[in-house]
């Protein structure tokens, strides 16, 4: 073989290889290219392998030229590989930038806690009837939580509210501050500050020193209600709460009032709605009674009115207090109050 012919073959091989290399656009075809030229049976490898059969002179010049081509192709391959990679990155990002028809990625959506939802529902059913919303302190004086509500010190009625006391003593060395056990202290606070007419509700958190079970939590919400004016009667209480039950539990609810005892109302009642699960026939939800008790209520006790400086001969009022978690439990069929504050997303996501 003539040295000129081999060198020419090498040169045209180099040219062909470089031209082809320039057209490659992905890593796979780059690999095919590498195998075709530089692989064990590749075109360049074949030529280099034949160098051994040439005369010593030719061997030197063709060998040197062949190795140069080999180095060049390897370098060009590496460079092209980088280019292709960059090309792919750009292709991917330009796709992302311009394809406005792709559906958006859904953002994780938050939701309101079931207690917040039921509180809002309860509040708006009362604001629709002209009640204002007021809030009060969760740390309360004995005076408002008990005394002004006709629950004197050492009176056995205090046992109705197991209390969490704050380490704060009055002049006689007695505990005088506690986590409020109900929202009723706001009755006294509001009446003390304002003159009738009063129509308000008080949503808020309460605390009790309580062993927890399916129906008891040591912290929970209440919604208190208070209406005071001249000539308010038990009929007003019944009408208002009936309308409330209708709004929360549905248009054909029946309600039932029975006598109950709370020191700050006279007469005191509890209110039940007919069980919407069995329509009053008796089932598991209503413990076979056909009724679901939803709150305590009554006419504001004359002693409470007098205690805030109102004349009980002129003014009368009604008050009520309910547990929104209990209302939500009845409404949504939740069987354990501890679920509300257990932070289990599997429970919370259902609302
Ligand atoms: N505060 C009472 C309780 O926690 C409920 C209640 C409020 C009853 C208002 C009558 C009037 O049990």
Asked if residue 163 lies in contact with residue 178, where contact means CB atoms within 8 angstroms, the answer is yes
Which of 141, 222, 300, 301 is catalytic? The answer is 222
Coil, strand or helix at 128: coil
Which of 189, 199, 208, 326 is catalytic? The answer is 208
Active site residue 208: yes
Query: In this structure, are 234 and 158 located in the same domain?
Result: yes
Which of 33, 51, 141, 161 is catalytic? The answer is 161
Structure tokens at 70: 């080999």
The domain in which residue 36 lies consists of 3-96
SS3 of 293-345: EEEEEEEECHHHHHHCCCCCCCEEEEEEEECHHHHHHHHHCCCCHHHHHCCCH
Q: 106 in a domain, yes or no? A: no
Asked if residue 48 lies in contact with residue 63, where contact means CB atoms within 8 angstroms, the answer is yes
- Atom number of ligand 1 nearest to Cα 183: 1
318 touches ligand 1 (CB under 6 Å)? no
Predicted local confidence at residue 122, as pLDDT: 97
Query: In this structure, are 207 and 258 located in the same domain?
Result: yes
Q: 109 in a domain, yes or no? A: no
What is the CA(195)–ligand 1 centre distance, in A?
Answer: 22
What is the CA(125)–ligand 1 centre distance, in A?
Answer: 19
Name the E strands within 215-289.
219-230, 255-259, 265-274
Predicted local confidence at residue 57, as pLDDT: 82
Largest CA distance in the chain: 134
Euclidean distance between CA atoms 272 and 291, whole angstroms: 6
Question: What are phi and psi for residue 182, nearest 5 degrees?
Answer: -160, 175
Asked if residue 287 lies in contact with residue 170, where contact means CB atoms within 8 angstroms, the answer is no
Domain count, the chain: 2
Coil, strand or helix at 139: strand
220 touches ligand 1 (CB under 6 Å)? no
223 touches ligand 1 (CB under 6 Å)? no
Query: In this structure, are 73 and 127 located in the same domain?
Result: no
207 touches ligand 1 (CB under 6 Å)? no
What is the CA(35)–ligand 1 centre distance, in A?
Answer: 87
- Alpha carbon 246 to its chain centroid, in Å, reads 28
C-alpha torsion sign, points 259, 262, 264, 270: negative
Euclidean distance between CA atoms 228 and 281, whole angstroms: 37
Query: In this structure, are 167 and 272 located in the same domain?
Result: yes
Question: What are phi and psi for residue 187, nearest 5 degrees?
Answer: -55, -50
CATH number for the domain that contains residue 197? 3.30.930.10
Predicted local confidence at residue 111, as pLDDT: 92
Active site residue 161: yes
Query: In this structure, are 180 and 265 located in the same domain?
Result: yes
Euclidean distance between CA atoms 125 and 131, whole angstroms: 9
297 touches ligand 1 (CB under 6 Å)? yes
Question: What are phi and psi for residue 201, nearest 5 degrees?
Answer: -125, 150
Given 70, 96, 122, the domain boundary residue is 96
What is the CA(190)–ligand 1 centre distance, in A?
Answer: 16
320 touches ligand 1 (CB under 6 Å)? yes
- Atom number of ligand 1 nearest to Cα 321: 7
Structure tokens at 60: 């030197």
Query: In this structure, are 37 and 179 located in the same domain?
Result: no
Ranges of the chain with pLDDT below 70: 1-4, 95-96
184 touches ligand 1 (CB under 6 Å)? yes
Active site residue 109: no
Kindly report the pTM of this predicted structure.
0.71
- Among candidate residues 271, 191, 274, the one with its CA nearest the CA of residue 237: 271
Predicted local confidence at residue 127, as pLDDT: 98
Active site residue 222: yes
């Amino acid at each position: 073989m003539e040295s000129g012919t081999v060198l020419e073959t090498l040169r045209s091989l180099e040219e062909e290889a470089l031209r082809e290399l320039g057209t490659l656009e992905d890593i796979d075809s780059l690999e095919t290219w590498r195998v075709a030229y530089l692989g064990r049976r590749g075109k360049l490898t074949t030529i280099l392998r034949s160098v051994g059969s040439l005369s010593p002179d030719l061997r030197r010049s063709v060998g040197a030229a062949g190795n140069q081509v080999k180095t060049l192709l390897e370098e060009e391959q590496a460079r092209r590989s980088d280019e292709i990679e960059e090309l792919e990155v750009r292709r991917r990002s330009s796709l992302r930038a311009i394809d406005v028809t792709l559906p958006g990625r859904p953002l994780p959506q938050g939701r309101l806690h079931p207690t917040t939802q039921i509180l809002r529902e309860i509040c708006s059913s009362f604001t629709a009837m002209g009640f204002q919303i007021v809030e009060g302190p969760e740390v309360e004086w004995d005076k408002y939580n008990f005394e002004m509500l006709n629950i004197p010190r050492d009176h056995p009625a205090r046992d109705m509210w197991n209390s969490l006391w704050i380490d704060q003593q009055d002049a006689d060395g007695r505990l005088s501050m506690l986590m409020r056990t109900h929202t009723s202290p706001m009755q006294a606070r509001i009446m003390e500050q304002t003159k009738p007419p009063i129509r308000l509700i008080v949503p808020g958190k309460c605390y009790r020193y309580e062993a927890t079970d399916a129906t008891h939590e040591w912290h929970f919400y209440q919604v208190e209600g208070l209406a005071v004016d001249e000539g308010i009667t038990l009929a007003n209480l019944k009408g208002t709460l009936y309308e409330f039950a209708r709004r929360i539990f549905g248009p054909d609810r029946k309600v039932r009032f029975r006598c109950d005892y709370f020191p700050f109302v006279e007469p005191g009642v509890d209110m039940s709605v007919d069980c919407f699960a069995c329509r009053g026939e008796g089932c598991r939800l209503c413990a076979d009674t056909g009724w679901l008790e939803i709150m305590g209520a009554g006419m504001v006790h004359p002693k409470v009115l007098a205690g805030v400086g109102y004349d009980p001969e002129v003014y009368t009022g009604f008050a009520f207090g309910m547990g929104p978690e209990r209302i939500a439990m009845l409404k949504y069929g939740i069987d354990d109050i501890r679920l509300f504050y257990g932070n289990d997303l599997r429970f919370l996501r259902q609302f």
